[in-house]
Amino acid sequence: MFSFDFSLPTEVYFGKGVTESKLAETIKRYGSKVLSCYGGGSIKKTGLYDNIMSILKENGVTVWELSGIAPNPRVSSVRKGIDICRKNGVEVLLAVGGGSVIDCAKMVGAGYYYEGDAWDLCSKKAVIKGSLPLVSVLTLAATGSETNPTAVISNDETSDKVGATSKFLFPKASFLDPTLTYSVSAFQTAAGSADIFSHVLETYFNKGEDMFMLDRVMEGIMKTVMHYAPVALKDPSNYEARANLMWASGWAINGFIQGSKVKAWSCHPIEHQLSAYYDMTHGLGLAIVTPRWLRYCLNASNAERYYSFGVNVFGIDPALDPFEVASRAIKALEEFFYSVLGLKSNFTDSGIGDEKISEMAEKAAKALSPNAFVPLKKEDIEQIYINCL
Amino acid sequence: MFSFDFSLPTEVYFGKGVTESKLAETIKRYGSKVLSCYGGGSIKKTGLYDNIMSILKENGVTVWELSGIAPNPRVSSVRKGIDICRKNGVEVLLAVGGGSVIDCAKMVGAGYYYEGDAWDLCSKKAVIKGSLPLVSVLTLAATGSETNPTAVISNDETSDKVGATSKFLFPKASFLDPTLTYSVSAFQTAAGSADIFSHVLETYFNKGEDMFMLDRVMEGIMKTVMHYAPVALKDPSNYEARANLMWASGWAINGFIQGSKVKAWSCHPIEHQLSAYYDMTHGLGLAIVTPRWLRYCLNASNAERYYSFGVNVFGIDPALDPFEVASRAIKALEEFFYSVLGLKSNFTDSGIGDEKISEMAEKAAKALSPNAFVPLKKEDIEQIYINCL
């Protein structure tokens, strides 16, 4: 029987210009000493950095900076951020960027209230018991971190990439201005779209009970990504496309569609090893892994789910045999990832060989829940990796 | 361009037995002096009242009562509740019932912090500036009040029925146990389902920009109601049906699908006069009014919306002319309301004549926004009422 908790306390301000109109007053509700977290400097090129800095200065906010947060953010950045906050009595965190920047800021906030090393919180060795308030300004539609309670952090020393979840990790407020994603490259738009799609697909193909209403919502979000990702690729400043992708990003992974499901994902732990070992872009890794995983897991007991996916998302003829629908659906998904989005279709083209497959499969097998859609052992995951070569 | 704010701070506990497992600890986060609000006593018949009272007493909670809250709740009940709270220093409100009970409790909470008469807050003469914390236990899937910031209150003296909205009106927590709706009568199940459907339809047929993703979500919720209302009518203890209807109730009107829309509804203000003048069950009134309103408003400039509705919700042949699709969709909706749900199809059968039509149309015209899907004058609404006879 469906049973779950849900709340979405993050205040979302969505639309063109919301940062200009509401960021300062929102931050000042929580304090006037801010740590501004961002990535490699693309926000300086677009002018967003200057824009935000002048808004903050005009409003009497003092700003420290944590810059250079990498995609697949490192725990070293988290530690650095915590130090700055402690030394300067930072009261509020501001994350300006995509999911990596927001995730890093989340763990800075949680680590601030933890005496030990921040990796303990990332790796669930210690429990998150509080956080500095976090406000995010999203510049990439992908991970959904802007409205969820999860952060994924990598550890260079151990080649680990792990996710932590806590109610304290919800941003207090997130600013979603679709125009801030106009400058996102074609590759990142494609990878982000694959990531959003994957969050829904991982939920759709999962154990736990199917809730009719949520199945229809999931199909709607997947259709939205398929509808608008090509539009955004062709016309990067198309507001409607960027807005739909941006809002889809959050709803793919804020807990709503996950209601009644056991939340034991498969492609993510399999992909996380690629990010950890090769620093592969997460969405690209998911696009390579997902169709192979779907094909590997298909069997008589679960073909019905593939059938719904094929018929309701890709419009495949419902009169066909479920296995035929499944096969066509997987092909249609490959067509979407590789031809429509233009993402690389295998490891070889992405510069990845078979040298780490055994090691990665071992780690993925440990990360994969026994409650997964189809429980997989190390050997199964090895085969899936091999099929990706 | 889509622009909106969104947050959903209400904590939802969904599933069989959630009241038993989490109600006491949730209430005690806010206080131990509780006003328990409920309706006509059906919760005493089902044993829910005794169950909750024993949970509260075991946990050292002191309880006062506001009982007899009517469907279309009266401001007189709100005033009574405020008095009890003030006299006894009540710290938390507990609403056990459907939308009427929750709405009444919301305005008790808001009125507690307002020195003037509570009707000022209902009628928007005064602004809501705070509220006592409210916890709800839902027993009827219909109005969505359990996860939204709105309350609709009636005034017997003036035959007014009005809605107030404020961020202070979100319940702090809502307990959604589908098994608590097993005992809901066929008529109330049907009327509640019509109400849920109408909240989505009013949003779907509304001005403001169409957001592809939200259109798909709305179609999914409408299909959910059509799929499960007949199941719940045939098999009142069907958990899956009751769960889907209960969760659909909230999502139809918690602000999510309303993003990018102007939120100027039409059927609700037209129906509210029926509730106010004849104490008609809200969902029944909506079921009678909605198809007539759809037929009256159809024109060349908006037929496209009816076309999407017909094709995506009712599966009508997309090759047909939009007007033909529209006509078939309205007929299919009538079939759903009157044949499948078994609701009365007109005023006459519901004991309503034409004597108040002019007066009601005048009030409805005032309540209807000029931004409505199709702006309507008093004469238009009179004609819609006449078509309902």
B160-165 and B150-155: which strand pairing? Answer: antiparallel
Binary contact (B240, A213; C-beta < 8 A): no
Inter-residue contact A266 to A373 (CB < 8 Å) = yes
Q: Which residues of A touch B (CB under 8 A)?
A: 1-16, 18, 178, 211-214, 216-217, 219-221, 223-224, 227-228, 239-240, 243-244, 247-248, 251, 259
**Tokens 């060795």 sit on residue:** A125
pLDDT in tens, B12-35: 999 999 999 999 999 999 999 999
Q: What are the residues whose beta carbons fall under 8 Å from the beta carbon of A242, sequence distance 6 or more?
A: A141, A178, A179, A181, A182, A232, A236
Q: What are the residues whose beta carbons fall under 8 Å from the beta carbon of B72, sequence distance 6 or more?
A: B100, B154, B161, B275, B276, B279, B282
Tokens representing B209? 């920009």
Average of pLDDT values for B253-261? 92
Query: How many whole angstroms separate alpha carbon B5 and alpha carbon A97?
Result: 20
Domain boundary among B137, B162, B180: B180
Residue B44 inside a domain? The answer is yes
Out of A16, A221, A228, closest to residue B1 by CB = A16
State residue A223's pLDDT score.
Answer: 98
* pLDDT higher than threshold 80 for residue B120: yes
* pLDDT higher than threshold 90 for residue A262: no
pLDDT band at A116 (very low <50, low <70, confident <90, very high): very high
* pLDDT higher than threshold 80 for residue B56: yes
Half-sphere exposure of B234 (CA within 13 A, CB side): 8
Q: Using the 8-state DSSP alphabet, how is residue B7 labeled?
A: E
B33-37 and B62-66: which strand pairing? Answer: parallel
pLDDT > 70: percent of chain B:
100
Which residues from A are below 8 Å from B254, CB to CB?
none
Query: Phi, psi (5° rounding) for residue B4?
Result: -165, 165
State residue B356's pLDDT score.
Answer: 96
Q: Domain check: are B15 and B163 in the same one?
A: yes
Q: For residue B310, what is the domain's CATH number? A: 1.20.1090.10
Q: ipTM of this predicted complex? A: 0.94
State residue B268's pLDDT score.
Answer: 95
Query: Phi, psi (5° rounding) for residue A204?
Result: -65, -45
Inter-residue contact A101 to A69 (CB < 8 Å) = yes
Residue B5 inside a domain? The answer is no
Q: What are the residues whose beta carbons fall under 8 Å from the beta carbon of B5, sequence distance 6 or more?
A: A11, A12, A13, A14
* pLDDT higher than threshold 80 for residue A226: yes
The distance in angstroms from the start CA to the end CA of chain A is: 40
Which residues from B are below 8 Å from A11, CB to CB?
5-7
Average of pLDDT values for A257-268? 90
Give DSSP secondary structure letters for B106-142: HHHHHHHT-SS-HHHHHTTSS-------EEEEE--SS
pLDDT in tens, B124-137: 999 999 999 999 99
Q: Domain check: are A226 and A299 in the same one?
A: yes
Q: Domain check: are B128 and B259 in the same one?
A: no
* pLDDT higher than threshold 90 for residue B241: yes
Q: What are the residues whose beta carbons fall under 8 Å from the beta carbon of A209, sequence distance 6 or more?
A: A1, A2, A260, A261
Which residues from A are below 8 Å from B178, CB to CB?
2
Q: Domain check: are A321 and A342 in the same one?
A: yes
Which residues from B are below 8 Å from A211, CB to CB?
243-244, 247
Binary contact (A212, B228; C-beta < 8 A): yes
* pLDDT higher than threshold 90 for residue A338: yes
Binary contact (A243, B13; C-beta < 8 A): no
Average of pLDDT values for B260-277? 92
Greatest Cα-to-Cα distance within chain B, rounded to the nearest angstrom: 66
Residue B1 inside a domain? The answer is no
Inter-residue contact A35 to A197 (CB < 8 Å) = no
Out of A4, A14, A248, closest to residue B14 by CB = A4
State residue A74's pLDDT score.
Answer: 96
Which residues from A are below 8 Å from B10, CB to CB?
7
* pLDDT higher than threshold 80 for residue A219: yes
Average of pLDDT values for A349-375? 95
Binary contact (B14, A1; C-beta < 8 A): no
Out of B8, B10, B14, closest to residue A3 by CB = B14
pLDDT band at B192 (very low <50, low <70, confident <90, very high): very high
State residue B126's pLDDT score.
Answer: 97
* Residue B261, CA distances (Å) to B21, B55, B212 in order: 38, 42, 12
Residue A96 inside a domain? The answer is yes
Q: Domain check: are A176 and A236 in the same one?
A: no
Average of pLDDT values for B274-290? 95
Q: Is B356 left (phi over 0), alpha (psi -120 to 50) or beta?
A: alpha
Please give the interface size between A and B, counted as residue pairs whose CB atoms are below 8 Å apart: 119
Q: Domain check: are A108 and A161 in the same one?
A: yes
pLDDT in tens, B65-97: 999 999 889 999 999 999 999 999 999 999 999
Q: Domain check: are A362 and A262 in the same one?
A: yes
Residue A1 inside a domain? The answer is no
pLDDT band at A248 (very low <50, low <70, confident <90, very high): very high
Which residues from B are below 8 Å from A4, CB to CB?
14-15
pLDDT in tens, B140-162: 999 999 999 999 999 989 988 88
Binary contact (B248, A213; C-beta < 8 A): yes
State residue A210's pLDDT score.
Answer: 85
**Structural domain span for residue A368:** 185-388
Binary contact (A11, B5; C-beta < 8 A): yes
* pLDDT higher than threshold 80 for residue A1: no
Binary contact (A2, B8; C-beta < 8 A): no
Shortest CA distance to A198 belongs to which of A112, A130, A257? A257
Shortest CA distance to B273 belongs to which of B361, B144, B374? B361
Binary contact (A7, B9; C-beta < 8 A): yes
**Tokens 């300062």 sit on residue:** A24
Q: Domain check: are A137 and A15 in the same one?
A: yes
State residue B260's pLDDT score.
Answer: 82
Out of B16, B18, B224, closest to residue A213 by CB = B224
Q: For residue A66, what is the domain's CATH number? A: 3.40.50.1970
Which residues from A are below 8 Å from B221, CB to CB?
213, 216-217
* pLDDT higher than threshold 80 for residue B1: no
Query: Phi, psi (5° rounding) for residue B253?
Result: -155, 30
Q: Domain check: are A241 and A326 in the same one?
A: yes
Binary contact (A3, B12; C-beta < 8 A): no
The C-alpha of B318 sits at a distance from chain A's nearest C-alpha, in angstroms, of 14
State residue B156's pLDDT score.
Answer: 85
Residue B4 inside a domain? The answer is no
Binary contact (B213, A244; C-beta < 8 A): yes
In angstroms, what is the C-alpha Rg of chain A?
A: 20
Domain boundary among B180, B201, B236: B180
Residue A2 inside a domain? The answer is no
CB burial readout A78-112, b (16+ within 10 A) else e:
bebbbeebeeeebbbbbbbbbbbbbbbbbbbbbbb
Q: Which residues of B touch A (CB under 8 A)?
A: 1-16, 18, 178, 211-214, 216-217, 219-221, 223-224, 227-228, 239-240, 243-244, 247-248, 251, 259
State residue B263's pLDDT score.
Answer: 84
Q: Domain check: are B172 and B206 in the same one?
A: no
Q: Domain check: are B213 and B145 in the same one?
A: no
Residue A5 inside a domain? The answer is no
Q: Using the 8-state DSSP alphabet, how is residue B97 labeled?
A: E
Query: Phi, psi (5° rounding) for residue B302?
Result: -120, 5
pLDDT band at A297 (very low <50, low <70, confident <90, very high): very high
Q: Domain check: are B208 and B293 in the same one?
A: yes
Q: In what order do the strands lie in the sheet with B33-37?
A: A62-66, A33-37, A92-97, A134-138, A173-176, A4-14, B4-14, B173-176, B134-138, B92-97, B33-37, B62-66
* pLDDT higher than threshold 90 for residue A129: yes
Domain count of the fold of chain B: 2
3-class DSSP assignment, residue A317: coil
Binary contact (B251, A213; C-beta < 8 A): yes
Shortest CA distance to A331 belongs to which of A310, A300, A302, A346? A310
Out of A211, A217, A240, closest to residue B217 by CB = A217
Tokens representing A233? 């690729």
State residue A82's pLDDT score.
Answer: 98
State residue A209's pLDDT score.
Answer: 83
pLDDT in tens, B209-236: 889 999 999 999 999 999 999 999 999 9
Average of pLDDT values for A157-166? 91
State residue A85's pLDDT score.
Answer: 98
Domain boundary among A129, A151, A180: A180
State residue A2's pLDDT score.
Answer: 80
Q: Using the 8-state DSSP alphabet, how is residue A261 labeled?
A: B
